[in-house]
Structure 1
Amino acid sequence: MGKIHEQMNSETKQKLENAFIKIMAVHGIQGVTVRALTNETGLNRGTFYLHYTDKFDLMEQIQERLLAGMKNCLKDVEPLEGLGFIENGQPYPPIIQMFTYFRKEVHAFKVLLGPTGDPSFAIKVKSIYKETILKKLLPHIPKESIQNFANEEVKKFQSYFLSFSASAIFGLIEEWLSNDAKETPEEMGIVQMNIIKMIRSQTGNMK
């Protein structure tokens, strides 16, 4: 009985998530109401409030799930190892895994990052890139590239480097999603790693 109840809860939440994304795609968060969600899913208000306090709680839980999936895909990424793959003409497996995940959740990501979505979600996505891939690059920036900076200026450089790089990667993801993720995860893995390689060339040889 426990597994059946758990499965029913999961299916109910998935229905509400799908309905939320569908309505938000057309009307934005303003157009999402509990009534609209129950009409779309055929569920009653009591069922909605059994799982969520309000529509913002539903949106937050959707975002948390998507961001957790991203973190899981990126946790094993080692940028320099990835560059080694790309220099040998091979897509980097963890990056392919990430794009595979994006493609699986393409509609939710596209809506939340789109014009009717939540602007704060883009900031959260960029933050994950900063905290996973890009911070791992910082120790490999050649000392001669920053030796003329004072300590405070080095910190500023690193902060802007993270922001610039995260925005570049995010722009790639955003463009891909806006085109309904037509390219394969393997193709996008090569594109993204080439962009990281280009950033590397602009900051010197990282070792």
Structure 2
Amino acid sequence: MVKTRKNLKNALIELLGEHKISEISIQKITDTAHVTRGTFYLHYEDKNDFISRTLAEIMTGFFDAVIVRADYVNDKWQYGENGNFRLFSINKAFDYIEENAKTFDVLLNKYENDDFRAEFESKLSKLLTEFFDQSKTMLNSTDGSKFSTDALSDDILIAYLVSAHIGIIQLWLQGGMKYTARYMTKSVDQINDAIEAQFPVSGFFVSQL
């Protein structure tokens, strides 16, 4: 079952990179995946159900892989599965995308619909909003100066951070990933360090090199 779903997912990515959705039939999907139509219908109701659920699984797999938990103690992050903060690991993100480059290149750069990128932005925005809210709670209970967001409206900073990070991922993929995942992590880290000097809340994006 797992192998069948993986084959169907890979077939979808291959077809989305070459065709419009309207040109992709269930027959074309099953032929590319080397499975029967009967097998397809054991897993999915129709083409729309298949595409929707497959893209959702890809998105969930990405965020499950890159989100780390931590607590902020003595001016530094202490990582652990029971941490109260959910942070975005830059190095895990670039490593994951490097391992699944074709999938993300198609869905972020070639897929005719913007729904995958829109969902990506939505999930990242929600995580950042959660981080901001937790940071403000910390402001009320500790010194909290590290987490001040007073310098700029939350929605503006969130929109900037989300667009910037997704844009860098898209650019990296469009350029054929000529830089390594490690180099990309260090580069984004340097940019975020510069931003963090003015807007410390951008510390949501971390690296664990």
Fold conserved (TM > 0.5)?
Answer: yes
Which residue identity is paired with 2:29?
L
How do 1:68-87 and structure 2 match up within 5 A?
68-76=60-68
Tell whether 2:3 aligns with 1:11: yes
User: Is the partner of 1:76 in helix, strand or coil?
Assistant: strand
Provide Cα deviations, 1:31-51, integer angstroms capped at 9, x if missing partner: 211011122233221111111
Equivalences, count: 182
Is the deviation greater in 71-80 or in 94-103?
71-80
Identity of aligned residues (%): 23
Is the deviation greater in 132-141 or in 46-55?
132-141
- Indicate which of 96, 101, 109 corresponds to 1:101: 96
Structure 2 alignment gaps of length 5 or more: 78-87, 136-145, 204-209
Specify the alignment match of 1:53 in structure 2.
Answer: 45
- Indicate which of 24, 27, 32 corresponds to 2:24: 32
Higher relative contact order (CA 8 A, sep 6+): 1
Specify the alignment match of 2:118 in structure 1.
Answer: 123
Which residue identity is paired with 1:27?
H
Distance across 2 between alignment mates of 1:159 and 1:73? 26
User: Is the partner of 2:18 in helix, strand or coil?
Assistant: helix
Report which of the two has the higher share of strand.
2
Distance across 2 between alignment mates of 1:131 and 1:115? 25
User: Is the partner of 2:35 in helix, strand or coil?
Assistant: coil
Tell whether 2:194 aligns with 1:198: yes
User: Is the partner of 2:151 in helix, strand or coil?
Assistant: helix
Distance across 2 between alignment mates of 1:205 and 1:114? 29
- Indicate which of 177, 182, 188 corresponds to 1:181: 177
Provide Cα deviations, 1:94-131, integer angstroms capped at 9, x if missing partner: 32122111111111111111233430111111223223
Q: 1:205 to 1:69 in 2, by over 3 A?
A: closer
Distance across 2 between alignment mates of 1:26 and 1:68? 24
Specify the alignment match of 1:110 in structure 2.
Answer: 105
Check whether the contact 1:24–1:111 (CA below 8 A) recurs between aligned residues. yes
Structure 1 alignment gaps of length 5 or more: 1-8, 86-92, 147-156
Q: 1:79 to 1:121 in 2, by over 3 A?
A: farther
Check whether the contact 1:70–1:101 (CA below 8 A) recurs between aligned residues. yes
